[in-house]
Amino acid sequence: MTAPFPKTMDYQGFNAPNRIEAQIYDLVVAEGEVPAEINGAWFRCIPDPQYPPMLGEDTYLSGDGMVSKVWFENGHVDYQQRYVMTERLKAERKARRGLHGKYRNPYTDDPIVQNLDAETLGVTRTAANTTPIWHGGRLLALKEDGRAHELDPETLETKGVFDFGGKLRTATMTAHTRYDPETGELHFYGYQADGIASKTVSYCVADKDGNLIREEWFEGPYSSLMHDFVVTRDHVIFPFFPLTADLDRLKGGGHMFAFDPEAPTWFGVMRRDQSVKEMRWFKYDDPACSFHFMNAFSDGDKVFVDFGRSTAPPFPFMLETSNLDITPGSARSAYVRWELDLSANSDAVKETVIGPPGDFPRVADKDFMREYEIAWYQRFDIEQGPPNIVGPVGPGFNTISRLNVKTGDLRSFGFGPHRTIQEHVHIPSKQDGHEGYLAFVVDLHETMGSEIWVMEAAHPENGPLARIEIPMRLRCQVHGNWVDADQF
């Protein structure tokens, strides 16, 4: 018999595990109309733990991966969600209980699944719960602690672990890959590429058909939680924020990551046409942390990187281990542009502020890697009302914004005191000069229900074009991606 989940933020209220594999045909459109030109699949990854944590407590980020598919067809919308059948989930279901200890600490696992082998750890322990991507005709579910899982795009059935036909060496693959809209290539990396807490980072490229054509390894300054990286037409940028892993702490049963605001942040920059051996290093001495990059572009030897820079990580469980007097709300952040000048003799970065703090930055796929104007991201605005707790960080976002990074123009929609939003996806339009659409799940805190909203990407301030009812509560997703119908 399965015991109740812990009475903590990660498992209660909107964060209560859902665990329902579902298929809902033709959702009810409660208000407005879904534009008929939207045709395709929106895939989303949701951590959704099958069992209560073995040690009595764990983070949201450890939940078993559930993949959802929202299918749009001529104004109709269907919903489906299904677990990724990882080795982790299979072992848990066989034992009918949780078997894994602390977040990313295999030393705390039950002997039934304990495996300290660097080669297979990324296969056996990952929950595949962070990002679904479509590349080379494959649907992959990713989490940065392991290998990808390939899923059937029609049924969401798990086909198995995907290792590029046995070619991939890195034990880990990031959940934040970078797609090159000009070449069709997928750029990605893995940190802790050759074992738990190692400093080794892999840099990989797959061609447009999904064949691995490049894999190089290098050593970072420390073993950092490198959640995202960013690529331009000419350069690759690897960020090292001082949120670091320590093998002795892990062996002692502690947490994977702790934040050290005294340590510098390093950005490694290489040319795409050179090797990782030619990496140039830039340094930032003030406390810094970030999880997601908005975009980046190069202009000759100058590289411009846009992201939400904070003074501390947002996850409460990471702050707890750091033994710092930092509460989640006390971090200071802003959207910034860092200029890295490869022709200068200095390793300093030049920072300018481009927007208020937030997260989940997204630009149109066509704008990846090049100079751009428009980005959409989410913010918490106290004017909307006090925080509602949802997701792994705590307070959920209640505002969606369209930022023009050239003019600073910010167009926002606020969701009021009883609604929060999950990550939005951008859906391109086929009409000339049309900015496309945004779609996202809205959490309804009064009724503990969920809706999907579709908005004009150019005018989020106008509110929803369509409000689509979901007849169940959806747990908070991490990331999602849009795949147009003509890509299948």
> Judged by CB under 6 A, does residue 86 bind ligand V55?
no
Q: Which amino acid is at 160?
A: G
Q: In angstroms, what is the minimal distance from the CB of 10 to ligand V55?
A: 12
Pick between residue 44 and residue 143 the one whose CB is nearest to ligand V55: 143
Q: Which of residues 162-181 bind ligand V55 (CB under 6 A)?
A: none
Measuring CA to CA, how many Å separate 426 from each of 53, 388, 483? 34, 25, 10
Pick between residue 145 and residue 163 the one whose CB is nearest to ligand V55: 145
Using CB under 6 A as the binding criterion, the count of chain residues that bind ligand V55 stands at 9
Q: In angstroms, what is the minimal distance from the CB of 318 to ligand V55?
A: 9
Pick between residue 250 and residue 270 the one whose CB is nearest to ligand V55: 250
Among the listed residues 9, 34, 237, 478, the single contact to ligand V55 using CB under 6 A:
478
Measured over all CA atoms, what is the biggest interatomic distance in the chain, rounded to whole angstroms?
Answer: 64
Other C-beta atoms closer than 10 Å to the C-beta of 444 total 17
> Judged by CB under 6 A, does residue 130 bind ligand V55?
yes
3-state secondary structure of 91: helix
Spatial distance between the Cα atoms of 338 and 309, rounded to a whole number of angstroms: 10
> Judged by CB under 6 A, does residue 289 bind ligand V55?
no
Q: In angstroms, what is the minimal distance from the CB of 176 to ligand V55?
A: 9
Q: Which of residues 252-271 bind ligand V55 (CB under 6 A)?
A: none
Q: In angstroms, what is the minimal distance from the CB of 326 to ligand V55?
A: 18
Nearest residue to ligand V55, scored by beta-carbon proximity: 61
> Judged by CB under 6 A, does residue 227 bind ligand V55?
yes
Measuring CA to CA, how many Å separate 4 from each of 36, 289, 327? 44, 35, 28
Q: In angstroms, what is the minimal distance from the CB of 401 to ligand V55?
A: 19
> Judged by CB under 6 A, does residue 53 bind ligand V55?
no
Residues whose CB falls within 8 Å of the CB of residue 8, separated by 6 or more in sequence, listed in order: 57
Residues whose CB falls within 8 Å of the CB of residue 117, separated by 6 or more in sequence, listed in order: none
Spatial distance between the Cα atoms of 145 and 206, rounded to a whole number of angstroms: 19
> Judged by CB under 6 A, does residue 47 bind ligand V55?
yes
> Which string of x and - marks every residue 381-410 that binds ligand V55 (by CB under 6 A)?
------------------------------
Pick between residue 61 and residue 230 the one whose CB is nearest to ligand V55: 61
> Judged by CB under 6 A, does residue 291 bind ligand V55?
yes
On whether the CB atoms of residues 76 and 26 are closer than 8 A, the answer is yes
Q: In angstroms, what is the minimal distance from the CB of 28 to ligand V55?
A: 30
Spatial distance between the Cα atoms of 203 and 191, rounded to a whole number of angstroms: 9
Q: Tally helices (H) and strands (E) across the chain.
A: 4, 35
Among the listed residues 27, 38, 41, 61, the single contact to ligand V55 using CB under 6 A:
61
3-state secondary structure of 320: helix
Q: In angstroms, what is the minimal distance from the CB of 131 to ligand V55?
A: 9
Residues whose CB falls within 8 Å of the CB of residue 156, separated by 6 or more in sequence, listed in order: 67, 69, 80, 81, 82
On whether the CB atoms of residues 339 and 300 are closer than 8 A, the answer is no
Binding residues for ligand V55, rule: CB under 6 A, are: 47, 61, 129-130, 143-144, 227, 291, 478
